[in-house]
Amino acid sequence: MSDFKVPVNDYLFLFNDVMDMQQNYQHVKGGDQATPDMIEAIFTEGAKFCENELSPLYQSGDDGCKWHQGDVTTPAGFKQAYQKYVEAGWPSLTGTTDLGGQGLPPSISSAFNEMLNTANWAWAMYPGLSEGAVATLEDHGTEEQKNIYLSKLISGVWSGTMCLTEAHCGTDLGQMKTKAVPNEDGSYNINGTKIFISAGEHDLTENIVHIVLAKLPDAPEGTRGISLFIIPKFLPAADGSVGDRNGVHCGSIEHKMGIHGNATAVLNFDDAKGFLIGAPHSGLSAMFTYMNVARIGTASQGTAAAERSYQGAAAYAIERLAMRSISGVKNPDGPADPIVCHPDVRRMLLTQRVIAEGSRAMICYSSQFADLYTSAKDPADKKKGEDRLGFCTPILKGFITEQGVVAANYGVQVFGGHGYIKEWGMEQILRDSRIATIYEGTTGIQALDLIGRKTLMDKFAQLKVFTSEMRAFAMPLLLSSKTTKTLRRYAWRTVKMSFKWQYLAFRMGLQAKKDRDAIGAGSVDFLMFSGYAFMAHMWMMMAAKAEEKLDAGEGDSEFFKDKLHTAEFFFERFLPLSRVHATTILSNIGSVMSMPTDYFDNTK
């Protein structure tokens, strides 16, 4: 596998030029610390850590974790890398300053987390899951709980997990069987089993803080009866150190398709002492704080798959000689031409690059709303951030992870037969990428959330905000006599996408009035179309800024020329794929729902 290089210039282009994050930072607590110089220093040093410490462990980590009598050992080098991560203060970037954090806006850690994911996906999941635990406790924990757990989690000395899934109960949490019985001292005894718990057991930290969903004895039926609990692996002692072992044990770890370096645990809670977070029976709403953080992190894993696979495939395509170019010999001194000369190889590489850079922009754009939601000075800005982030989240999680698999698949294809062989590392990226479309809510679940709660039930409010912003950016470029012919063409396509997006949402609402299954039948296609529209806005913004910089003679001209080349491929060759989804959304749902259930019964 080729060496991984963090695209620091791309992050700085997005933060400093395209999104103008400094303007947003004026509205958030801690934003005054996030100067351009500070951000560049963080990204530069973060890149060194990812390239030098984590990336070399990516392939070897695929050998996996080892389970023995309830204890889990992570792959060689993982623990040492984690110690360096903690010593350098990386876990505390966005933590509250009162508890040892650096108080920086979440957008900075969002970008850094993508670097971690790209360098070593499985390793990055260990600290990544702690961020959700921190966010949940900050929003819903008592002062006592915050004092006990937050400083340890923020520093990285302890780590966190989230425990939702049971063997019979994944997305349908109303079927949950884990029970919580109150004790006289205010704690609870928790009994049950959770499965698929990422980073559920490991040797990186001295304690693991599990955030667990369970039901009280008087719980109402369904999801309204779910409560949320803190269950530490070791109960904290009075002085804050690790105390007695709690009744939570790892029964096994899963043997799975990818991310072998992360322990996906089966956790047994046997009279485990837990502590209620928030009000009884309100656990699901509190858990959504965790889920939203995790879903944005999962979206960045899609970007990571595209970036890592692209870098490997591009390096190989430049070196690999095979056949002659159909337009004429390009390497007269060699036996064949580099495969990068062949149009289909370029198509695959450009698709990977469009996905990586476009999805990175989508996450950066949305991270502005995460900043407002978590740290806004004005309550009105906090509400705005929450609403806008809520609309973006299912698109980020659903669309970007699906495109990450596409990009990783092309990485294997560029290598040909070598891509299928483990030693090159490309098949590992593909295997790892597949889980991102499943955990933290499948693509289908994200799609239902987007068209249902975030669009139709919202009466199209946030969709109108987004599409209006698309037009507000593109229309001046479209109408200006100074705009180049190429940029004007991109602006026109962006405007058309904004209107088409609204039209498709309206049509789905009309279909649902006649047949409610129309929502489920068209939801994924609506999500994917939404992703293309979102990405079109991002490429419009990036292309306009790149052209502006070139005209002004500022910055790295080669970087900006490359950005315009990639934008051209996006608008000419990638964006047209959205038309398939638009056509499918409006098609008759009879082909999906008209056949009886026994149509699928292969035993009949």
Q: Is the pLDDT of residue 101 over 90?
A: yes
Relative orientation angle of helices 78-87 and 121-140, to the nearest 10 degrees: 50
Q: What is the pLDDT of residue 286?
A: 80
Distance, in Å, from the CA atom of 280 to the CA atom of 219, rounded to the nearest integer, reads: 8
What number is the average pLDDT over the span 329-353?
Answer: 97
Q: Is the pLDDT of residue 324 over 90?
A: yes
Strands (E), 52-105: 66-68, 71-73
246 burial level (CB within 10 Å; 0-12, 13-18, 19+): buried
Q: What is the pLDDT of residue 224?
A: 85
pLDDT in tens, 111-159: 999 999 999 999 999 999 999 899 899 989 999 999 999 999 999 999 9
> Is residue 107 within 8 Å of residue 371, measured between CB atoms?
yes
Long-range Cβ contacts of 89-97 (<8 Å, 24+ apart) = 90/46, 90/49, 90/127, 90/156, 91/127, 91/130, 91/154, 91/155, 91/156, 92/154, 92/155, 92/156, 93/42, 94/131, 94/374, 95/134, 95/150, 95/154, 95/155, 96/138, 96/150, 96/154, 97/30
Q: What is the pLDDT of residue 247?
A: 98
CA atoms within 13 Å, Cβ hemisphere of 313: 33
Number of C-beta neighbours around residue 219 at 10 A: 18
Which residue type, as a one-letter code, is found at position 494? T
What number is the average pLDDT over the span 298-322?
Answer: 98
Q: Which residue has the tokens 């489920």?
A: 520
Give me 540's structure tokens: 């419009």
pLDDT in tens, 349-378: 999 999 999 999 999 999 999 999 989 999
Give me 484's structure tokens: 């180049």
- With a pLDDT cut of 90, the percent of the chain lying above it is 91
pLDDT in tens, 259-278: 999 999 999 999 999 999 99
Distance, in Å, from the CA atom of 29 to the CA atom of 96, rounded to the nearest integer, reads: 10
Catalytic-role residue among 440, 548, 554, 572:
440
What number is the average pLDDT over the span 292-300?
Answer: 85
pLDDT in tens, 175-232: 899 999 999 999 999 999 999 999 999 999 999 999 999 999 999 988 888 999 999 9
Q: What is the pLDDT of residue 308?
A: 98
Q: What's phi and psi for 429, nearest 5 deg?
A: -60, -40
440 noted as active-site residue:
yes
Q: What is the pLDDT of residue 295?
A: 83
Confirm whether pTM is higher than 0.95: yes
Q: How confident is the model at residue 284 (pLDDT cuts 50, 70, 90)?
A: confident
Q: Is the pLDDT of residue 288 over 90?
A: no
> Is residue 376 within 8 Å of residue 28, measured between CB atoms?
yes
Q: What is the pLDDT of residue 290?
A: 64
Q: How confident is the model at residue 518 (pLDDT cuts 50, 70, 90)?
A: very high
Q: Is the pLDDT of residue 32 over 70?
A: yes
Q: Is the pLDDT of residue 52 over 80?
A: yes
Q: Is the pLDDT of residue 17 over 70?
A: yes
What number is the average pLDDT over the span 577-597?
Answer: 94
- With a pLDDT cut of 70, the percent of the chain lying above it is 100
Relative orientation angle of helices 401-415 and 283-319, to the nearest 10 degrees: 20
Number of C-beta neighbours around residue 99 at 10 A: 19
Q: What is the pLDDT of residue 172?
A: 75
What number is the average pLDDT over the span 29-46?
Answer: 97
Q: Is the pLDDT of residue 285 over 90?
A: no
Q: What's phi and psi for 438, nearest 5 deg?
A: -110, -60
Tell me the torsion sign for CA atoms 391, 397, 400, 402: negative
What number is the average pLDDT over the span 542-564?
Answer: 97
Q: What is the pLDDT of residue 149?
A: 97
